[in-house]
Amino acid sequence: MRKHKSKGVIAAMVALSFVAVACGSDETSSDTTAAPAEETTAPQETTAPEETTAPADTTAPTDTMAMGDCAELTPVKLQLQWVTQAQFAGYYAAVEEGFYEAMCLDVTILEGAVDITPQTVLANGDADFAISWVPKALASREAGADIVDIAQVFQRSGTLQVSFADAGIASPADFAGRKIGNWGFGNEFEVFAAMTKAGIDPATVENVAQQFDMVGLLEGDIDAAEAMTYNEYAQVLEAINPDTGELYTPEDFSVISYEDEGVGMLQDAIWADGTRLSDEAYNATAISFVAASLQGWAYCRDNVEACATLVTEQGSALGLTHQTWQMNEINKLIWPAEGGVGYIDSAAWERTATLSQETKNLEGSTVLTAAPDAEAYTNDIVTAAHALLEAMGIDINGADYAPIEVTLTEGGV
């Protein structure tokens, strides 16, 4: 692990940031009036070349500060919502590059699994922070879990519905009478929201319980399969087309983006314990944790291949080429970040909340029965984290971000 020797100074900066947050406002809800740092547009394709603009140094931001040492490292547990892969590369990079340690934190990353609900782990006190999609976490909050979104890492939805091009499924309106796959566990919310917007009752569609792969689509058991831009979509492009003996190409498929359909919901966010946020020490830890995590994401923006290698070496079952594709696609969901990486945009939040109140499941119930309360998210923590990162020279907007070009291989090896 790369070591940084200026932990004491950073800890002092965190303490000052906490004081600024505490003195600047006595409200726990988000500041929805803060002006964004820059106005940018998000790239859509993976054809742009490697960026030629020299990025800010995200590897050793503290070398110019006075030297100091932490009296001790604060232990922190982070619960992921799925297994090790580039979806969480920023957190692994923050460990490997010493960003957490420089903030006086000793972070343990807990992998997720099908039977693990990260926001429940957090609410039960078995983790200090958790990564979860917003609608899932809001459903848990409505059920009584005191959890708060303190940093919205993914600014855009990466959920797709993929079908073969000759299936005639060009929009959610074409789902009627077809076999539509979804993963369940709250991952179906956008699928059902798209049906609802198209005037289709999800209960009238043949919804197929889909495994976390694309086998059902490739074998013809599903007409349109749920996929993430960064994972399952790559899986079909890594498979051999039996008609040609070559890899499938994007032209072989029809892809529906729920972000483009206007029903994209906010996904990966950092959640904290709402009760503990009133504690000064936990609040300061939250600022440090968010700052180092976002520094990790800035590092992975500027070091795509290094982060893909890192998560592969952490034991991921996915191959290096697949992880490189995934890292590249994850970056598109984060960068550019108009209000700064992790900033919670009120319009995107309201869209997610509204869709969650309008989208019915197969039993006719909605994800949320009422609008989330004002304390469900706050920008106080991420704003303090931004101040730390900007003082360290970290680019928190990525206005010049451009994706790299990734060539997939069979099986993603």
| Other Cβ atoms closer than 10 A to 156 | 15
Q: What is the predicted pLDDT for the residue at 363?
A: 87
What distances in angstroms separate CA 105 from CA 15, 134, 288, 315, one per listed residue? Answer: 14, 26, 8, 23
Torsion of CA 44, 45, 50, 52, to 10 degrees: -40
Are β-strands 129-132 and 269-273 bridged in parallel, bridged antiparallel, or unpaired?
Answer: antiparallel
Structure token pair of residue 314? 């952490």
- Enter the pTM of the model: 0.86
**First and final CA of the chain: distance in angstroms?**
26
Given its phi and psi angles, is residue 181 left (phi above 0), alpha (psi -120 to 50 degrees) or beta?
beta
Cβ 385 vs Cβ 286: under 8 Å = no
Q: What is the predicted pLDDT for the residue at 242?
A: 97
Residues in the chain: 413
Q: What is the predicted pLDDT for the residue at 45?
A: 37
Residue partners of 279: CB distance under 8 A and separation at least 6: none
Q: What is the predicted pLDDT for the residue at 34?
A: 35
What distances in angstroms separate CA 24 from CA 19, 55, 286, 342, 386, one per listed residue? Answer: 8, 32, 17, 20, 15
d(CA 297, CA 299): 5
**Looking at the DSSP assignment, which residues form a beta bridge with residue 273?**
147
Residue partners of 284: CB distance under 8 A and separation at least 6: 14, 15, 17, 18
Q: What is the predicted pLDDT for the residue at 32?
A: 34
Tell me the mean pLDDT per 10 residues along the chain, length 413.
Answer: 45 47 38 34 36 45 44 97 97 98 98 96 98 97 98 98 98 97 95 96 95 97 98 98 98 98 98 98 98 98 98 93 98 98 98 96 92 98 98 98 98 96
Q: What is the predicted pLDDT for the residue at 57?
A: 53
Question: How far is C-alpha 224 from the chain's CA centre?
Answer: 24
